Amino acid sequence: MAKRYDSKLLLERRNLRVAADALIRDLKTNDWPPDAKERPLTNLSGYWPELTPEQAEADPEKARRIEFEKAREQPCHKWRFSLRLFFENGRRYFNDYGDSDSMRRFESNKLVIVAGIDDPVFREMYTTEECVRDLESLKALVGAVGHVRRHDRRSPPMRRSRPWKSLSDARGAYGHTQWQAAETIGIPQGVMSQYESGTRKPNLVNRRKCADYIEKAPHPGSAG
């Protein structure tokens, strides 16, 4: 039977890959300011003093210098804004469609780590070549997520007719703590807690894992 993919997943995956390509292209081709040419993550202030018309008239050279600096640094700040948006959309994508391993790999990517550090000295040690490499790694990680078939009607993810239908019931049948159940399923304990309380719904991948955990739970009253 041919695989059927979630259309929203495919759209979000495509958008993230396009965004990664744009970041890589800009990183390689933009004419960055000299002090950020090799380090676009350098902590530039992004602040330019505003002159009143009277001040600009009194010191036209300073007014021209401010406008020049704005134009010079704006592409770099625009790139950094696009990067932050890529991270936000990426986290949502992996949360909705990935698993704990893909989220861990996303958060441990060096670019994600460096971008979250305010120290400009640390950032200056991070080269453009590293940035390109890490962006390409994130793009590949995005592409690796989402090869998930829609649930077949003949095998629903959770059989509601079973008395151990919920995760908490299944966990009780196993005699597992919440931590043990989360480890068995392959999700963080905090996520397990949210699933049980109903404050968060499993994504497609974790839904299958939870369904498998529930289906294999000991029958009530069975020995062992």
- What is the block-wise mean pLDDT of the chain (224 residues), using blocks of 10 residues? 63 94 90 66 65 89 86 82 92 88 90 81 79 94 69 42 62 86 88 81 84 81 49
- Domain range summary for the chain, segments of one domain joined by +: 7-144, 151-224
Structure tokens at 138: 């994130």
Top CATH class, 151-224 = mainly alpha
Which residues have a Cβ under 8 Å from the Cβ of 55 and sit 6 or more positions away? Answer: 62, 63
- Token pair in block for residue 54: 């009277």
What's the pLDDT score for residue 146?
A: 63
Longest dimension (CA), the chain: 91
Read off the tokens for 199: 């404050």
pLDDT of residue 157: 44
67 and 84 Cβ atoms separated by less than 8 Å? no
pLDDT at 159: 42
pLDDT of residue 147: 53
Q: Report the pLDDT value the prediction gives residue 141, as an integer from 0 to 100.
A: 94
What pLDDT is recorded for position 109? 92
**Per-residue pLDDT at 70:** 81
**Positive or negative torsion for Cα 32, 78, 93, 200:** positive
HSE toward the beta carbon, residue 97, CA cutoff 13 A = 23
Amino acid at 83: L
pTM: 0.57
